[in-house]
Amino acid sequence: MADTPFTPPDWLRQGFDHIWLPYTQMQDAALPAPIARTEGCRLIMADGRELVDGVASWWTAAHGYNHPHIRQAVQQQLETMPHVMFGGLAHEPAYRLATRLAALTPGDLTRVFFSESGSVSVEIAMKMAVQYWINKGERGHSRFVSFTGGYHGDTFATMSVCDPEEGMHSLFAGLLAEQILTDLPTSEAARQAFDDLLAARKGDIAAVVTEPLVQGAGGMLFHSAETLRFIRETCDRHGVLLIVDEIFTGFGRTGSLFACDQAGIVPDIMTLSKALTGGTLPLAATIARQHVFDAFLSDSASTALMHGPTYMGNAMGCAAANAALDLFEQDPPGPRADRIATQLVAELEPARHLPGVRDVRVLGAIGVIELDPHSDHDWMKAEFIRRGVWVRPYNYIIYTTPPLVISPEELSTLTTAMVDVVRLWGGKTQQEG
């Protein structure tokens, strides 16, 4: 893409003095790219330039943007009933969605609790796990086991089960609820350590919390289905609950509908969000197995789950999710993710031996180029936009998680830009060194 002078629109210049951006040091923040509309796998900037979206809006837009089936469902729901409170009232989109999710998720994950965001869905899962033990008369189970490299959200409880050294939450070290951090059991030594930990602490552990197959925000770190099976088996052996965070991995990203499917496991509690609505509206789900739900049943109101987000089960969000599930049923994501994976492996491989590259890896519709630390993110983002793509590096990785409907030509535009920018960055770093 040729260099084009950038004239920010008035709304961006004026609003920038009042906005607070995510994950951004605002003192020296650059103006973000102004997007006027979206279509398919593309972001159309205010000046008319088009960017192939390599991130699917933080992994949400699995079906691309403005899909007519999802759009029609949301429009129809808006015209009839955009929202009603979920306490004491019911509506078809939410109840139908709960029934469908119970049928799609593995095993007896049959009880669905809706909320508005992924972080909140994990908070709810953690609250369920602690109260599960309280309702069973065992109040001491208040700690959570999580893994090095893990990430589960930015709210207070979820920060406590993220890797404290990962970067975003290190400022809060010592201020969060104390949890138990350990290494993923990917080696014999780590497996033994994990088994010993659960044996020694099972009396105060509420649950183990993990991301299946991919630790996303921690650096797109991959582990095997065998590792996930071992975590489930060890939790079973010691009578510990397992929470699996499928917010990123769910709905085809790793090549199966859920990452748990590849390991053949059933978590006690699963969390879903992101691609659930096809990237249109905020919605999340915390889904519990029957034995977890049963622990909340009694003649006393004190054992009920006292939680209820204001926009819980939002009708438009549920309508969007039902439409997104229609599309997954009509065109299962597995073959599409496999096709993307094959192309990513072939087209990212040339980056492996470039200066400053530590690793190139692919899993399903996830492609990663891992760099040496201290990469220049702002420079890279500008270079990507200049090449007509939206790729957002973070920490020391450049990654793509494109919409599952991306065409081979659009994907090649992404991978070519990724390799070219890494090549330029490596040469620039060598010159500066």
Instruction: Let me know if domain 68-330 sits in CATH 3.40.640.10.
Output: yes
Whether 2 has a pLDDT exceeding 80, the answer reads no
- CB distance 207 to 127 below 8 Å: no
Q: Mean per-residue pLDDT for 158-168?
A: 83
Question: In the beta sheet, which residues pair with residue 35?
Answer: 45
**Tokens, residue 41:** 């796998």
Instruction: Let me know if domain 10-66+332-430 sits in CATH 3.40.50.720.
Output: no
Q: What is the mean pLDDT of the chain?
A: 95
Whether 112 has a pLDDT exceeding 90, the answer reads yes
**Tokens, residue 357:** 């590259």
For the chain, residues classed under CATH 3.90.1150.10 are 10-66+332-430
Q: Which one-letter amino acid corresponds to residue 335?
A: P
pLDDT at 7 (0 to 100): 85
Whether 166 has a pLDDT exceeding 70, the answer reads no
Whether 59 has a pLDDT exceeding 80, the answer reads yes
Rg value, the chain, Cα: 22
Binding residues for substrate: 58, 151, 274, 308, 392
Looking at the chain, the whole-number percentage of residues with pLDDT higher than 70 is 98
Rounded distance, CA 287 to CA 277, Å? 16
pLDDT at 378 (0 to 100): 87
What length is written for the chain?
433
pLDDT at 5 (0 to 100): 62
Rounded distance, CA 229 to CA 350, Å? 33
Rounded distance, CA 26 to CA 29, Å? 5
The residue written with tokens 């509206």 in the block is 281
**Tokens, residue 314:** 């939002």
Strands (DSSP E) along 167-231, which ranges?
A: 180-182, 205-210, 214-215, 221-222
pLDDT at 370 (0 to 100): 97
Rounded distance, CA 205 to CA 188, Å? 23
Whether 4 has a pLDDT exceeding 60, the answer reads no
Binding residues: 58, 118-119, 151, 245, 274, 308-310, 392
pLDDT at 1 (0 to 100): 44
Whether 92 has a pLDDT exceeding 60, the answer reads yes
Binding residues for pyridoxal 5'-phosphate: 118-119, 245, 309-310
Residues noted as catalytic: 23, 151, 245, 274
Phi-psi category of residue 288: left, alpha or beta, with phi > 0 → left and psi -120 to 50 → alpha: beta
Q: Which residues contact 263 (CB under 8 A, 6 or more apart)?
A: 212, 213, 225, 226, 228, 229, 232
Q: Which residues contact 306 (CB under 8 A, 6 or more apart)?
A: none
Q: Which one-letter amino acid corresponds to residue 253?
A: R
**pLDDT tens readout for residues 232-282:** 999 999 999 999 999 999 999 999 999 999 999 999 999 999 999 999 999
**pLDDT tens readout for residues 318-352:** 999 999 999 999 999 999 999 999 999 999 999 99
Q: Which residues contact 133 (CB under 8 A, 6 or more apart)?
A: 139, 140, 141, 206
Looking at the chain, the whole-number percentage of residues with pLDDT higher than 90 is 91
**pLDDT tens readout for residues 6-40:** 789 999 999 999 999 999 999 999 999 999 999 99
**Would you say the C-alpha torsion 44, 45, 50, 53 has a positive or negative sign?**
negative
Chain-centroid distance of CA 432 in Å reads 36
pLDDT at 428 (0 to 100): 75
